């Protein structure tokens, strides 16, 4: 058996077919990989360091993914499937490679040390057969704000979650043995609790006396989750039959993170529309309750993996139940912009605001200042693309108000190249862009005055030409309507629109 490179797809990218031949190496610039159906094990290191690798199609029948097999692809993998046959993922298999959500099915039996370290995704669900979370497994996943751990986890090994700066939605099984440094550099959790010891204590008891919160957090591990939630809402343990119609009041409570059941749903790796309906129908104030970071459930739906139908349902619920509630779009953009969140999700957030809540503002001046002082953002791999996009969004209204394309192109050019020098002098670069915008804006009154004079002069010349063509001016004065119509026609045909659009920028 041998490897093949076959025809191109719609993106005109060649597909490398991996057949498992001993000693076979994938091309260093491989972009798309299709694993042959005869392969049952991906060897160690086979695709390690392929920095252009974007898509991986694994065949059914693969049982094992070997050590470092897809490591050091530098966050380039944006599409990969996990076959149902897969059972073992070895050490550092995807280290620093994934830039896409990954769904691990329930039959995964083992995951090695550092298997998903330094990857870019926002939600992660640990399969139920994994009772020991290996060391370094998710270390450095700086965009991950939610992780679901099975109840039966007995141990979390050292540094498993280290440097997960944005982690928020997590619960620790009370009896699990914890290794060293699990919660080091967890910025968002440290903002709430301070010490690692207190973080652990709070997360171990997060769901005490909160049965609905707990059920929603573990929903992906249960069968018939909708019926379970209905039972939890309507009948608590120990209630008499006469109380079955009463709601469990804890559905409106907030846990130690300030989260309601709706927050936890929006953070989840799985989304059931009927469960969302159930929670909102019974506990509508969940929609407008902010957690301890000031976030509504809607933020986590945009930030994570919630499908479009869930986001649309949440938006419709806000508009029908709380039409006057102001959503903090500035905070949502800031939260997503300071992480490795894919640019497409921020684009979706801004598109939804523009389409459904155009009257609700975004403070772009504040956001640009905040991003300028966060020069550490440049260490994140999608930094340049995301920052360029945010800069253009932040200045789009002012740029669009500029009357000349050459000016707009000049600002775009400054933004495009500014991100490459960001760490050197981020505040200075932002200031220079703003100063150039202000300079163009200051020129606008002069342009308006100059363009008015030029237009009047050309209009007058055109009218004079018409007078000469007609022979005598008194012929135009016979009817006032004829004179008015002639004057307007001269204004349209004098060519001022062409001259002004080209001559004035040249003068400036």
pLDDT along the chain (508 residues), means of 10: 45 81 87 96 95 96 97 92 97 94 95 96 96 97 95 97 95 95 92 94 97 96 90 66 68 97 96 96 97 98 95 96 95 90 90 94 90 57 70 84 83 76 68 85 75 70 69 49 65 64 59
pLDDT on residue 413? 83
Q: In the prediction, which pLDDT does 502 show?
A: 60
What 8-state DSSP symbol labels residue 208? Answer: T
Please check whether residue 207 is in contact with residue 214, taking contact to mean a CB–CB distance below 8 angstroms.
Answer: yes
CATH of domain 207-321: 1.25.40.20
Both tokens of residue 175?
């009896």
What is the spatial distance between Cα 109 and Cα 128, in angstroms, rounded to a whole number? 9
* Tokens (6 digits) for 119: 């990857």
Which residues lie closer than 8 Å to 168 by C-beta, 6 or more apart? 145, 146, 188, 189, 257, 267, 291, 293
* pLDDT for the residue 1: 36
Q: Determine the pLDDT at residue 8.
A: 44
**To the nearest 10°, the Cα dihedral for 309, 314, 315, 320?**
120
Looking at residue 471, what is its pLDDT?
A: 55
Radius of gyration of the chain (CA): 30
Adjacent-strand bridge partners of 177: 155
**Domains of the chain, residue spans:** 207-321, 451-507
Q: How remote is the C-alpha of 90 from its chain's centroid?
A: 29
Locus of tokens 């209009």:
459
Strands 88-89 and 110-111: parallel
**Count, residues in the chain:** 508
Quote the tokens at residue 283: 């506990």
Instruction: Please report the pLDDT score of residue 420 as a whole number.
Output: 63
Cβ atoms of residues 136 and 116 within 8 Å: no
Between the two ends of the chain, the Cα-to-Cα distance in Å is 68
Tokens 């079955």 locate to 244
Token duo for residue 401: 């108000």
What residues does 14 pair with on adjacent strands?
8
Q: Which H or E run contains 501?
A: helix 496-507
CB 340 within 8 A of CB 140: no
């Amino acid at each position: 058996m041998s490897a093949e490179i076959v025809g191109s797809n719609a993106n005109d990218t060649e597909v490398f077919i991996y057949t498992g031949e001993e000693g076979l190496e994938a091309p260093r610039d491989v972009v798309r990989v299709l694993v042959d159906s005869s392969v049952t094990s991906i060897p160690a290191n086979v695709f390690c360091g392929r920095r252009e690798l974007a898509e991986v199609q694994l065949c059914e029948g693969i049982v094992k993914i070997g050590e470092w097999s897809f490591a050091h692809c530098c966050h380039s993998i944006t599409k990969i499937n996990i076959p149902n046959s897969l059972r073992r993922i070895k050490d550092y298999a995807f280290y620093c490679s994934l830039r896409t959500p990954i769904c691990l099915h329930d039959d995964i039996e083992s995951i090695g040390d550092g298997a998903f370290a330094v990857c870019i995704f926002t939600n992660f669900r640990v399969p139920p057969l994994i009772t020991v979370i290996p060391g370094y497994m998710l270390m450095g996943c700086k965009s991950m704000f939610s992780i679901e751990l099975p109840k039966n986890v007995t141990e979390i090994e050292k540094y498993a979650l280290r440097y997960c700066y944005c982690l928020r939605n997590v619960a620790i099984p009370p009896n699990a043995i914890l290794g060293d440094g699990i919660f080091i550099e967890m910025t968002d959790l440290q903002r709430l609790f301070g010490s690692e010891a207190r973080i652990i204590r709070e997360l171990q008891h997060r769901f005490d006396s909160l049965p609905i919160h707990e059920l929603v957090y573990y929903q992906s591990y249960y069968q018939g989750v909708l019926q379970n939630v209905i039972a939890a809402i309507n009948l608590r343990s120990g209630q008499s039959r006469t109380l079955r119609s009463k709601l469990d009041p804890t559905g409106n409570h907030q846990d130690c993170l300030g989260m309601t059941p709706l927050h936890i749903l929006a953070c989840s790796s799985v989304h059931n529309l009927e469960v969302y309906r159930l929670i909102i129908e019974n506990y509508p104030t969940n929609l407008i309750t902010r957690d301890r970071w000031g976030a509504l459930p809607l933020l986590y739906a945009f930030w994570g993996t919630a499908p479009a139908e869930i986001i649309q349902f949440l938006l419709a619920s806000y508009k029908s139940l709380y039409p006057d509630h102001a959503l903090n779009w500035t905070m949502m953009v800031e939260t997503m912009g300071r992480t490795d969140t894919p640019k497409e999700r921020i684009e979706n957030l801004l598109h939804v605001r523009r389409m459904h809540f155009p009257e609700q503002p975004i403070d772009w001046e504040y956001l640009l200042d905040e991003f300028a002082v966060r020069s550490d953002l440049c260490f994140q791999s999608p930094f340049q693309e995301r920052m360029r996009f945010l800069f253009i969004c932040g200045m789009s209204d002012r740029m669009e108000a500029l009357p000349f394309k050459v000016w707009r192109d000049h600002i775009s050019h400054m933004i495009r190249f500014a991100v490459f020098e960001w760490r050197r002098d981020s505040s200075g670069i932002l200031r220079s862009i703003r100063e150039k915008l202000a300079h163009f804006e200051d020129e606008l009154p002069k342009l308006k005055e100059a363009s008015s004079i030029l237009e009047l002069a050309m209009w007058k010349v055109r009218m004079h030409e018409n007078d000469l063509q007609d022979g005598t001016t008194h012929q135009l004065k016979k009817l006032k309507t004829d004179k008015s119509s002639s004057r307007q026609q001269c204004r349209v045909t004098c060519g001022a629109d062409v001259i002004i659009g080209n001559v004035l920028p040249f003068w400036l």
